[in-house]
Structure 1
Amino acid sequence: MIAFDDLMPGQVVVLGPTGASRDEVLAFARAYDPQPFHLSDEAASQTYFGRLSASGWHTGALMLDLLINNPDWPLACRGCHEIRDLRWRAPVYPDDRLSARVTVIDCDVPEAQGAGRVTLDLLLSNQDDATVAQMTAVLAVARRI
């Protein structure tokens, strides 16, 4: 596990790829964001998306999943304190391949309960290296002690 004590400001890691199939995009939209352009190609063709696109909330969830459930960088996350400056920069389409560039911004004084606060900048890009989303996350990360 990657612990609070293993992190330092300026550290960068690239995680991924991940993505969502057409069925996953539709299932998420039906459950959580039933806007027409997330539910059909026909409705999306009338918008700047041009075709069925993933919900921004689905995109954010994929980004967090890369951060929290990644076997290549198993971060010992103990909770998320806040998300700052979440921005959707470009649509995510079914079967896009997404990767996250994670930069450690700050490692605060350790908290009680054996964790420390870590501020991370996350930049999510697709297979064409276009930025599709970005955010800053403040997480509690377990200490080694």
Structure 2
Amino acid sequence: MQYYEDLKVGDTQEFGEYHVTGEEIVEFAEQYDPQPFHVDEEAAEESAFGELVASGWHTASMCMRLLVDGPLSEQASMGARGVDELRWKKPVKPGDTLSARTEVLDKRVSESDPRRGYVDVRFEGRNQHDEVVVSWISLAMIERRSAGE
């Protein structure tokens, strides 16, 4: 298990692989973001994207899955206080393969609860061409091994 004390500012990690299908793009969008360029291939061709693309929320969700299956499965994660600077940088299309990269930007012990540390982590989701498709800064809370360390 990786605790707050194990993380260092500047640490980076690359991980995950997620293959995106047109069917799941439509299924997610029909339920949560039913804009024409997410649910209808013909309408998508007439859109600014020129083809079916994933909802940004779907992209963030797929990348969250990479995080949960990757580094969060090995961390004493206590959740997050939110995200800053969420950006959808490139559309995700059927057939894309997503992977992820993280970098620890900052860390500090919580003043209100010394059992947890706050760790700010830049997240980047990338496609198979190594292009950043989504990014954010996670305001993570990580359990401390000991409040006295």
Q: Same fold (TM over 0.5)?
A: yes
Task: Find the counterpart in structure 1 of residue 142 from structure 2.
Answer: 141
Q: Distance in 1 between matches of 2:36 and 2:28?
A: 13
TM-score, normalised via structure 2 length: 0.88
In 2, the alpha carbon distance for the partners of 1:137 and 1:126 equals 20
1:44 to 2:49 alignment: no
Aligned to 1:78: 78
TM-score relative to the length of structure 1: 0.90
- Residue in 2 aligned with 1:120? 121
Q: CA deviation at 1:8?
A: 0.7
- Unpaired segments ≥5 residues, structure 1: none
Q: Provide the residue aligned with 1:21 in structure 2.
A: 21
- Show CA shifts across 1:87-108 (max 9, x none): 1111001231111110000111
Structure 2 gap ranges (5+): none
SS of the residue aligned with 1:42?
helix
Sort the Cα spacing of 1:28 and 1:121 in 2 relative to 1 into closer, same or farther, 3 A: same
Bigger share in helix: 2
Aligned partners of 1:68 and 1:74 also within 8 Å:
no
Alignment of structure 1 residues 55-94 onto 2, 5 Å: 55-70=55-70, 74-94=74-94
Q: CA deviation at 1:47?
A: 1.4
Residues matched between the structures, number: 145
Alpha carbons of 1:56 and 1:77: their partners in 2 closer, same or farther (altered >3 Å)?
same
SS of equivalent residue, structure 2 residue 37 = helix
Instruction: State the AA in 1 paired with 2:115.
Output: G
Quote the residue 1:53 is aligned against: 53
Identity %: 37
